[in-house]
Amino acid sequence: MDQTLENIIELAHRTKEKSPSQDSMEELKKRVADIAITSFGAFDSAPVQVAMKSLIPSSGKTNSTVFFTRTKVSSENAAFINGTMTRYLDYNDTYLSKEALHPSDNIPPLIGAAENGNYSGNDILRAAYVSYNVVCALSDAVSIRDRGWDHVTYISISSAAGLSYLLDLDHEKFSHALNLSINNNISMRQTRAGELSMWKGATASNACRNSVFGVNLAVNGFTGPAPIFSGEMGFFKQVSGDMNPDFSIDRIGKTMIKNYPVEYHAMSAAEVAEQLKDEIKGNIKKIDVETFRVAHTIIVKDPEKLRPRTRETADHSLPYIIAYTLKYGAPTPHSYDDHYLNDPEILRIIDRMKFTVTSKFDSMYPEYLPVMIDVTTDSGNYRKELDAPKGHNKRPYTWDDLEIKAARMMGEDSAKELISLARSFEKRTSEEYLEVMRNVKDEK
């Protein structure tokens, strides 16, 4: 028996028998709103447009709507296009643990699958609850980053689990849905090393697309290799090493909504830099930054982070994010446009930075997200430290915060309509959600 697979199925059974807590459901409704916000901002981005050009038209046995349109494509392709929209701006939610990842990557395929059956918003939220708690448990168990594998490998498992729950698969089909979705869905960490490409914002949606494919096969009786986790050549031996994830804990409240479109380990630094911008006087002579090892590994150490040439590299560059914010203020989706990447003043500020990993900050992560920025100018010295940024589980986003975030992306009227629907999502349907998306206007 593959105990890890059995424990995932048991989580699904418990979720069906007993409703998640009201607090968890409320947080998941916020994530349903948040992916619409982040997707809208990415609709015209190059990767999304390339994906649409490449994959539309298409059709399959099941078809789902492309966000903000009336166009339907095969459910697999919809999962890829909509997931890329959700993820591209690096603005959707985050979970920090041994592995850092973005749990709301799991939601777009659930929206698409719900179109093909009589599923309510409550069904979608419960399925998302399964996906979130599977992926967060895996994140808590083992980091696969240092073994050369990307975190979206875990998304392949969680998205298949959520889809299998939504479709109410029996034990055998649920098992094979996981087997099929995992076996050929292992992603290399090269996605996030060196100069980053469009694929950085699309690899999670590719994992979800492959899960939709695997689940659709399992629904009709296709079998997959087993035992997928504990087998001779299974997940533990080939990818993760020994692990014993605990799927009994509700981790929804520890996931975090992003306040800026930056890689999450830069979130405290962006907030501190925004505060410092309003205080510092004079020309910057040097900047000392204290951080923790994981942040240094992911968003500092590569030489490409000092001269990012792509948006994908820049929003994963702590030097760039600090320099941009000290010069221009809070990062926005447009902070990575080419003229900023080549801005001589931003590059000058980057060249005055020194980064130090401290044992104190290392010990605080991942419970906190600590940073210290000390700016020396020809007029004085300015220093600020922060443990938890806005949106962190220590300072969680409210519905009002989410409406402000939405209004920054799509204007106030559309923001209000979206938030209103999300707050009652358990009583709505995926079609109502998609219709609100179609009516979103950029009113700014």
Which whole number is the average pLDDT over 341-367? 97
Place 68 in a pLDDT band, splitting at 50, 70 and 90: very high
Position 285 scores a pLDDT of 97
Q: What is the pLDDT of residue 444?
A: 55
pLDDT band (50, 70, 90) for residue 442: confident
Q: Rounded mean pLDDT of 427-444?
A: 89
- Determine the average pLDDT of the residues in 16-27: 97
* pLDDT interval class at 118 (50, 70, 90): confident
pLDDT tens-place string over residues 373-383:
999 999 999 99
Structural domains of the chain, ranges and CATH numbers in brackets: 3-254 (1.10.4100.10), 264-386 (3.30.1330.120)
Supply the pTM of this predicted model.
0.95
Residue 97: its pLDDT value, please? 95
Burial class (CB in 10 A: 0-12, 13-18, 19+), 225: middle
pLDDT above 90 (res 411): no
Give the count of beta carbons closer than 10 Å to the beta carbon of residue 201: 25
